[in-house]
Structure formats: C-alpha cells, structure tokens
Amino acid sequence: MKILLVNQAFVSFDEPGFTRHFEMAKYLCARGHEMVIVASDVNYQTGTRIVEQRGFITEQGIEGVRVLRGFMLPSLHRNYFWRIISFMGFMFSAVAASLRVKDADLVIGSSPPIFQAFAAWFAAFLLRKPFLFEVRDLWPQFGIDMGVIKNPVVIYFSRALEKFLYNRAAHILVNSPAYKPYIVGRGIPADKITFIPYGTDISMFTPDADGSQVRRELGLDDKFIVLYAGAMGQANDIYTLLRAAARLQDHPKIHFVLFGDGKENTNLRAETQRLRLSNVTFAGAAPKTKMSAVVAAADVCLAILQDIPGFRMTYPNKVFDHMAAGRATVLVIDGVIREVIEASGGGVFVPPADDERLAQVIRELADDPARVQQMGRQARDYLVQNFDRRDKLSETLELFQRVAKTNHR
C-alpha cells in the first residue's frame, strides 16, 4: 500500500518539532508499505529553510522515506495575515507535489493548518483516491478561541471549509477523545470518526536515559530542573511560567530550562530580562535525537497552554514523552489531558494562568524528591499500558488499509 500524506510541518529526527509522521512513515516502510510525505521547506518552530530549494519542489530521501518539499513563504515572526498568505501559498506547491504520486492508494490531509488538508483533498479528487482527514487540532475553533480569528467573514468561510472537509473525507482520524463529539456536533456521523491517540515511542524516551551531559552543558549539575520543551507561541502561556519563576528566585536549587523556539521567543527573553530572572535559561531548539537526553536532564517537566475552551480538548504530545521518560509532569492545562495525568498519578495539575499556585507546587516538589520519583514511575507504567506508540501505529495502519479499500472519492 502506498500512502500520500500532506503536512507542511513534517520534520525528521534531525530537526526540532513533531516527528510523529516520520515515525509513522518508518513504521509503514518496515512492514512493506510506503508513505510519501508532502511538506514545506520551512521548519515551523525556527522559521528557517530546511533544504536548499531547487525549483518549486525539492525531493529528499530521509532514512528510506520519500519527502517532497514544496516552496513556502516563511511567516514565523509575521502577523496572522501573512501566515494565512503563507499557508495558502503552500496549498499550490502541495497540490503540485502530490500529483507526482499518481499511484497512491490513500491521500491523507493533516490539520492544522486546514489549508493543507484542502490541498490534500483536491489532490485526492484529481487522483481519484480516497481522502482521509487527520485532525490534530480543531481549526478554526482554536483560532477563534484565542482571538486570532475575529473577522466574521473569515470565521464564516473557515467554518464552511471545515465542514466541507468533514463531509468530503472518506474517514476522519482524531488524536483526542474530545474531538469526536465536537465533530459529531458539526453534523458528522460518529462511525465516520476514529479516535487513536498518538502515544509515544517507549524505546526513545526511557527512565534509563542519561541527561548528565545536558546538565553539564547548561551548568546546572546541582539544580532542581523544571523543563519546558516545545513551541513558544501565543498558545503556550509561558508568561505564567516566568511569573512563577519570579516567585521562586528565593529558592536556590530551582531552575527553569526552556528548549524550543517560536514566534514569542524574542518577547519571552525580553520579559525574562525585565523581571531580572536568574533562574531561567533559554536553551534553544533541539532536534528530536537529543530530546531523550533533554527530558532525562529534568527533575520535573512542565506542560502549559492558555486557558481557552479548545485547549481543554487537546492531548499535548509532550506530556506523553514526559511520562515515557519516567518524569513527573506539572500540568497547567485543564481538560482531557488532566484526566490522563490524574488517572496515572504521574503529575500535578495546576489551574491555568495561576502563577502563584504553580510556584507553590514546584516548591513543594523540589522539597520532596521521593514524591517526584514515585510520580515518575507511575507515569511510565501508565504510559506503557495505555499509550505505547507501537500499539497505536498498528491500529492506525489497520484504519488506513480499511479506508484505502473504500470507493469514496
């Protein structure tokens, strides 16, 4: 079976970012299938070009995975209007690249951004192949909740595009249990939607990983490290983290380490200087190959998002990586992911935007290492039982094979 997947944010292990589709492609290849990836030539976290562009489309081979990178205008540090222009521009290169894969059995469009999913649907229509819609986040709902999509005309057409893709898809794959009832509420039959969480690679993130080199590089051998690793955008409420750090400057052992990049990076660094925080280190973006050691260097890990209704429905990938590594999570996100952390006993929930409570919880954990270690063990055990990525990829492959046999065009 040959699968074509469109995701402009695709990255390999050598780049910072979300590598789930690369892992999926390698899994399929090992089982005699092929996944061809159509991606952009710009890294979504750093805004830098991934390849030297040779024409409109550049082809790569990465560990046996064929990747077609279409030209895209960088828009990381520009306003939302330019980001939309960039996303829509990628639609054209994505369709052109997709049409090079005429023998695909199934076309997958991943969202957000939703424009790339439309490109995948259009390619599937032209190739006369089934279209599977993968919903990683709810768009435009998240943008509306965050206040970045305000214009009523834009909201109307965004909703129409969302509904169009739900209706045209042969099937819809979601990675959070809360997305299915939301989509059903948009008038889509429940049996057209499958929930499969991404989980994590339990062989990549393990409690036995060595983080000592990362600690030495940071000069934090003897500190209680609170790690945030991920995007630094408007959705990630890292300003609450900085306010909590300001409350903890009197604790000599606690130190916050931030790995990642994004649109808010410059502003966050400026805020750190304004608050004169000596207990915060910005470590930059790191490739996935280094993330096991990065997480292993932490005593506890932090997951944090703005308090908006849409984020209460999401399963942040980083939480599962923390759990697999045997690290306790301080969770500043309410909703379905809170249910996972509380069921596992693998962390502590803090109400979103509550920097006072966040500082208090971190102080308590820093003073109780036995409790931290116990939570880490419980997190790992629960993750292995419920969110092993190998199991989830097996379920996903079965779904792909079933949808590829449909006559829906």
Beginning with the edge strand found earlier in the chain, give each strand of the sheet holding 300-304 in spatial order. Answer: 280-284, 254-259, 224-229, 300-304, 328-332, 347-349
- β-bridge partners, 393: none
Q: Residue 276 and residue 258: Cα distance in Å, rounded?
A: 16
- CA separation, residue 155 to residues 152, 282, 408 (Å): 5, 36, 28
Q: E strand or H helix at 68, and its extent?
A: strand 65-70
**C-alpha radius of gyration, the chain, whole number:** 21
CA–chain centroid gap for 344, Å, is 21
Q: Which CATH number fits domain 212-386: 3.40.50.2000, 3.40.1550.10, 3.40.50.12710, 3.10.180.10?
A: 3.40.50.2000
First to last CA, the chain: 17
Which CATH number is 2-199+388-404 given?
3.40.50.2000
Please say whether the beta carbons of 62 and 68 come within 8 A: no
Q: Residue 255 and residue 238: Cα distance in Å, rounded?
A: 15
Q: Where are the beta strands (DSSP E) in 250-373?
A: 254-259, 280-284, 300-304, 328-332, 347-349
Residue 294: exposed, middle, or buried by beta-carbon count in 10 A (0-12, 13-18, 19+)?
buried
Q: pLDDT 10s per residue in the chain (409 long)?
A: 999 999 988 988 887 777 889 999 999 999 999 999 999 888 665 667 776 766 678 898 999 999 999 887 765 556 655 667 777 778 889 999 999 999 999 999 999 888 899 999 999 999 999 999 999 999 888 888 888 888 888 889 989 999 999 999 999 999 999 999 999 999 999 999 999 999 999 999 999 999 999 999 999 999 999 999 999 988 999 999 999 999 999 999 999 999 999 889 999 999 999 999 999 999 999 988 899 999 999 999 999 999 999 899 999 999 999 999 999 999 999 999 999 999 999 999 999 999 999 999 999 999 999 999 999 999 999 999 999 999 999 999 999 999 999 865 5
Q: Residue 70 and residue 68: Cα distance in Å, rounded?
A: 6
Residue 155: exposed, middle, or buried by beta-carbon count in 10 A (0-12, 13-18, 19+)?
middle
CA–chain centroid gap for 93, Å, is 23
- β-bridge partners, 323: none
HSE at residue 140, side-chain half, CA atoms within 13 A, is 21
Identify the pLDDT of residue 81.
Answer: 58
Q: Residue 314 and residue 230: Cα distance in Å, rounded?
A: 15
Identify the pLDDT of residue 44.
Answer: 63
Identify the pLDDT of residue 76.
Answer: 54
Please say whether the beta carbons of 193 and 279 come within 8 A: no
CB atoms within 10 A of CB 242: 19
HSE at residue 266, side-chain half, CA atoms within 13 A, is 5
Q: Residue 201 and residue 375: Cα distance in Å, rounded?
A: 19
Identify the pLDDT of residue 134.
Answer: 98
SS3 category, 212: helix
Look up residue 314 and give its amino acid.
T
CB atoms within 10 A of CB 408: 14
Tell me the Ramachandran region of residue 228: left when phi exceeds 0, alpha when psi lies from -120 to 50, beta otherwise: beta
Please report, for the chain, the start and end positions of each structural domain, with discontinuous segments joined by +: 2-199+388-404, 212-386
Q: How many helices (H) and strands (E) does the chain have?
A: 15, 14
Q: Mind giving me the DSSP string for 75-88?
A: -TTS-HHHHHHHHH
HSE at residue 97, side-chain half, CA atoms within 13 A, is 34
